[in-house]
Each structure stands twice: as structure tokens, then as C-alpha cells.
Amino acid sequence: MEAKLKLLNNQIVNCDRCHLAETRQHALPGEGDINSRFFMVALSPGEHEDIESRMFIGPSGRMLDRLLHDMGIKREILYISNLIKCNLPQNRKPKMVEIETCSKYLDEELEVIKPEFLIPLGFYATRYILEKYRADPPSAKINFRPLYGKLAYASGQKIYPLPHPASLLYNPDYYPQTLEKYKKLHTFQHTCKWYNYCPMKRFYEQGKLDRKWVELYCKGDWQICRRYQMEEINQYHPDNMLADGSTAREL
């Protein structure tokens, strides 16, 4: 893995596939724990990152550090990369040709690292990731907001879109709600404590239950699982009750 990533990073650093190579100072490969369960994807390096050749060190990086600190997670346990590896001049929107050209590097990074949780930050990264994994993204930008903080499972990949930390620089009042969404990473760090005793595990292993139920709930956002909530208060629930509270007669 390390050798493949080193070769890929060298290609990124020396890339001249598009005109952004003419205006950038540095092309930034991803950085962090290559064995991390969490792979964050932002849009592109900012001005500070372009100068220093380091990920998330400008204002949005300081906001990310604040979020991570307040939720009790160290940045070192993450792997962080960008959809576009070069700075976008004057912080402009990316062009489709730039996304199409540069996203090939992100695809290769994902192929090497194979994260359990893919965490796109903001609209452009989220749209690309949902399209890549055929997760049926909305057609309008405004319709992406309800997706932030909700775990999805598509094409064998768990995807957890989050607001980009930069959004809090313009809307600081949203910090508490955004922090709650980021805190879900704590939940994702381990499976549900009831999993080994849960009928859902047995039904899945018997081939009676689709894998998405296990990935989204037992090994994903188990705190919202209705079975987990009822188990915690010792409330009766039938074996054929699914995580969303519905029952499956065929189980």
C-alpha cells in the first residue's frame, strides 16, 4: 500500500494535466493515516495550503481542528484528501473539466486506501462521491443540505457527507448543529455493542437480510437503530423487527 501511494503522490506533485498547473505553487496529495477507517474529501487546497504544501492549515483548517478538538478526535486518525489537487485561483468554483481531469487521482487514492467510511465535505465533494458510487445525488445544490449528517450505503461503500468547515466561517451560528453531525465519527469507531447477540446478525449471515442493514446500523449509525434504543431500556421487541422499527414477516 505504501509503495503504491508513494508512486501516486509523486504523480500528483508533478502533475501538469490541466491549466491549474500554471497557477499553483504546489499540488497536494492526501495526508494522514493510510490505515484510517475515515477518508475525508474536501474540494481543493486554499491559498495557505498552496503556499505551505500542507492540508487544511488555513482558516477552514483551523475550524476543522476546532471541530475535531470539541468532539475529542485527533486529526492524525484521519486520512484527508481533495477532489482537486491544485488551488483554484481567487477561490473560484471548479470547472467540470478540472473535476473530470483531477478526480482520477482521488479514484486511485480510494482504490489504494479502501476506507470503511468515506466522508465528503461540502457540495462538490459530496456530489462527486455520490455520483461515483451511484448513490443518486439530488439535481439541485440546495437539496444536498439534508444529506449532511446522514449515513448512506451504496455500491459497497459507506458514505457520510458533512458540511465543509469553511461554511462555519460565514455562518458561525451553525456551529452546534455542525458539531453534532461531526460527532457521529465517535459512533462509527465501533460496532453496536449488541451486534453479536442481535437477530439481524444471524439473519444477515443466513442470507436472509441485505447487507445494507448491517452496514448502515450495526456497523454504522447504531445509535439511531430502533432495536438498539429498545434494548438499552430493556423494552420488548420482536426478533423480526428491523433497525428502522418496521417488521419483516419473511424473517
Q: What's the predicted TM-score (pTM) here?
A: 0.95
Closest among 50, 122, 31 to 90, alpha carbons compared: 50
As a whole number of angstroms, the distance between CA 120 and CA 148 comes to: 9
* Residue 99: closest CA among 115, 120, 73: 120
Asked if residue 208 and residue 160 are part of one domain, the reply reads no
Q: Which of 188, 211, 237 is the last residue of a domain?
A: 188
Give dist(CA 115, CA 133) in Å, integer: 14
Residue 89, H or E segment: none
Q: Is residue 79 within 8 Å of residue 39, measured between CB atoms? A: yes
Question: Residue 91: what pLDDT?
Answer: 87
Same domain, 177 and 200: no
Count of the separate structural domains present in the chain: 2
pLDDT at 251: 85
Domain CATH code at residue 87: 3.40.470.10
Q: Are 60 and 164 in contact (CB under 8 A)?
A: yes
Q: Which of 188, 209, 232 is the last residue of a domain?
A: 188
Please check whether residues 158 and 218 belong to one and the same domain.
no
Residue labelled with grid coordinates 471541530 = 67
How far is 212 from 220, CA to CA, in rounded Å?
A: 10
- Give me the tens of pLDDT residue by residue for the chain, a chain 251 residues long: 888 999 999 999 999 999 999 999 999 999 999 999 999 999 999 999 999 999 999 999 999 999 999 999 999 999 999 999 999 998 899 999 999 999 999 999 999 999 999 999 999 999 999 999 999 899 889 899 999 999 999 999 999 999 999 999 999 999 999 999 999 999 999 999 999 999 999 999 999 999 999 999 999 999 999 999 999 999 999 999 999 999 988 88
Q: What is the pLDDT of residue 227?
A: 97
Same domain, 170 and 196: no
Predicted pLDDT at 1: 81
Evaluate whether 9 touches 51 at the Cβ level (below 8 Å).
no
pLDDT of residue 21: 94
Boundary of a domain, candidates 162, 188, 214: 188
Domain enclosing residue 209, as ranges: 191-251
* Beta strands per DSSP E along the chain: 31-32, 38-42, 79-82, 117-120, 152-154, 157-159
